[in-house]
């Protein structure tokens, strides 16, 4: 076993895998990567299983040292990674000699980068997952964001891992300052006026600073309820747009609660998690209402790099 040591943690760096699925009926939130495609791609390029735990790095990256020779891949947001004084190419297997320091700089595009290391970050699984869920303080390192001095075990550089230089293209063009994502109406579109759906499809919303891994609180044209803003609490699936009485929607993301009592006008399509997960407070977000057929086509397109291996 090798290890990496955190010198500076950055803004919000957490251990993530594909999430703690299967326990929402117990009230346990799923967690997992905000951009699951970039997480999976980082693992794919390095030769890991896609379930291997990566570090999710948010806007301002950490500074960390490899305690032994190790290969790694950075995918997703381009936060100007560098190894020592050399720039690290995105989506490419790189070799770090023992003692090398990986650091990050300016945000060039996207919001969340994923660092894959051999065999993944070796924190103990909690309820079957290594994903950090900050609100329930579960998974990762003591259920919290990384701190200076944390030491994380990883696999070794050898074995079946991909050779340095192996590279893949990014999954999506990284959004710059904002993006349009596709949604399907529902599950509670009937709780809103027809005008609300039209407004949603025609407007740009700002992702406010009160946004986090649980959800993006949006600011923009009000979405009018047709029959009140309260429902009997029900499940809150990944990517739903719930609308409280204020009419300002909240896009529920990885760390969302398992249930909520607000009507949900529309739901992000799975493929566009790759875009939504790369947005940050201050960016704008727009919603294109699409059809189930378009959602399936988008999903197949998004999966192409993974199917080809």
Partner 1 sequence: MRGPRAKAGPRIVGAGDSTLIVEFEARVSPAVNARALAVARAIAAAGFAGVRDIVPTYCSVAVSFDPLRTDVTALGAALEEAAARPAPRGRRTPAPIEIPVCYGGTFGPDLPEVARRAGCPEEEVVRLHTARVYRVYMLGFVPGFAYLGRVDDRIAVPRHATPRVRVPARSVGIAGFQTGIYPTETPGGWQLIGRTPLEPFDLGRAQPCLLQAGDAVRFVPISAGEFARLSGEAAPA
Q: Among 114, 191, 262, 287, which residue sits at the site for partner 1 (rule: CB under 8 A)?
A: 191
Instruction: From 119, 104, 129, 114, select the one nearest 31 (Cα to Cα).
Output: 129
Between 77 and 252, CB nearer to partner 1: 252
| Contact mark string toward partner 1, 30..69, x via CB under 8 A | x---------------------------------------
228 φ/ψ sector (left φ>0, alpha ψ -120 to 50, else beta) = left
Contact 68, 157 (CB under 8 A): yes
What is the smallest separation between the CB atom of 253 and partner 1, expressed in angstroms?
13
Rounded to whole angstroms, the Cα distance separating 238 from 232 reads 19
Of the ranges 27-35, 81-89, 152-160, 195-203, which one interacts with partner 1 (CB under 8 A)? 27-35
**Where does this chain touch partner 1 (CB under 8 A) — which range of 108-116, 135-143, 159-167, 276-284?**
135-143
**Range in contact with partner 1 (rule: CB under 8 A) among 4-12, 76-84, 183-191, 212-220:** 183-191
Q: State the burial class of residue 237 (Cβ atoms within 10 Å of its Cβ: 0-12, 13-18, 19+).
A: middle
Dihedral sign from CA coordinates of 149, 105, 68, 31: positive
Interacting residue with partner 1 among 3, 7, 24, 206 (CB under 8 A)? 24
Say what angle helices 292-307 and 36-46 make with each other, to 10 degrees. 20
CA dihedral 288, 294, 295, 298 (to 10 degrees): -100
- Binding status of residue 138 toward partner 1 by CB under 8 A: yes
Pick between residue 90 and residue 253 the one whose CB is nearest to partner 1.
Answer: 253
Residue 217 touches partner 1, criterion: CB under 8 A = no
Contacting partner 1 (CB under 8 A), which of 26, 163, 169, 304? Answer: 26
Tokens of 137: 């303080």
**Residue given tokens 């079957």 in the structure block:** 128
6 binds partner 1 (CB under 8 A): no
Three-state DSSP class for residue 284:
strand
CB-CB neighbours of 109 under 10 Å: 16
Total chain residues near partner 1 (CB under 8 A): 48
For residue 187, whether the previous peptide bond is cis, meaning omega lies within 30 degrees of 0, is yes
Would you count residue 126 as binding partner 1 (CB under 8 A)? yes
Choose the stretch contacting partner 1; rule: CB under 8 A; options: 9-17, 47-55, 266-274, 280-288.
266-274
Judged by CB, which is closer to partner 1: 50, or 63? 50
Give the C-alpha separation, 291 to 126, whole Å.
37
Nearest to 32 by CA among 211, 277, 272: 277
Does residue 198 belong to the site contacting partner 1 (CB under 8 A)? no
Give the end-to-end CA distance of the chain in Å, rounded to a whole number. 27
Per CB under 8 A, 245 contacts partner 1 = no
Which tokens sit at 43? Answer: 């693992």
Q: Which is nearer to partner 1, 57 or 266 (CB)?
A: 266
Interface segment toward partner 1; rule CB under 8 A; list 28-36, 66-74, 154-162, 165-173 = 28-36
**Which segment (107-115, 215-223, 230-238, 280-288) binds partner 1 by CB under 8 A?**
230-238
Footprint of partner 1 on this chain (CB under 8 A)? 21-30, 126-127, 135-138, 183-184, 186-188, 190-191, 227-228, 230-235, 237-240, 257-259, 264, 267-270, 292, 295-296, 299, 303
């Amino acid at each position: 076993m090798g290890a990496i040591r955190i010198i500076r943690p950055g803004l919000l760096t957490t251990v993530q895998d594909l999430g703690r699925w299967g326990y929402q009926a117990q009230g346990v939130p799923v967690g997992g990567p905000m951009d699951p495609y970039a997480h999976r791609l980082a693992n794919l390029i390095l030769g890991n299983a896609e379930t291997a735990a990566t570090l999710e790095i948010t806007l301002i990256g950490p500074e960390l040292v490899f305690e032994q020779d190790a290969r790694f891949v950075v995918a997703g947001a381009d936060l100007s990674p560098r190894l020592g004084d050399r720039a690290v190419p995105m989506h490419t297997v790189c070799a770090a000699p023992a003692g090398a320091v990986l650091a990050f700089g300016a945000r060039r595009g996207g919001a969340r980068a994923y660092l894959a290391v051999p065999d993944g970050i070796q924190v103990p699984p909690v309820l079957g997952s290594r994903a950090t869920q900050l609100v329930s303080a579960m998974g990762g390192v003591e259920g919290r964001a990384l701190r200076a001095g944390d030491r994380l075990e990883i696999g070794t550089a050898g074995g079946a891992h991909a050779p340095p230089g192996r590279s893949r293209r990014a999954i999506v063009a990284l959004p710059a300052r904002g993006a349009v994502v596709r949604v399907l109406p529902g599950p509670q579109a009937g709780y809103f006026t027809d005008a609300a759906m039209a407004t949603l499809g025609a407007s740009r919303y700002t992702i406010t600073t009160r946004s986090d891994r649980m959800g993006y609180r949006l600011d923009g044209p009000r979405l009018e309820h047709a029959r009140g803003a309260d429902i009997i609490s029900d499940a809150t699936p990944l990517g739903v747009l719930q609308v409280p009485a204020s009419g300002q929607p909240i896009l529920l993301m990885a760390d969302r609660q398992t249930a909520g009592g607000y009507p949900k006008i529309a739901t992000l399509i799975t493929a566009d998690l790759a875009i939504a997960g790369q947005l940050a407070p201050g960016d704008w977000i727009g919603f294109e209402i699409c059809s189930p057929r378009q959602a399936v086509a988008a999903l197949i397109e998004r999966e192409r790099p993974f199917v080809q291996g």
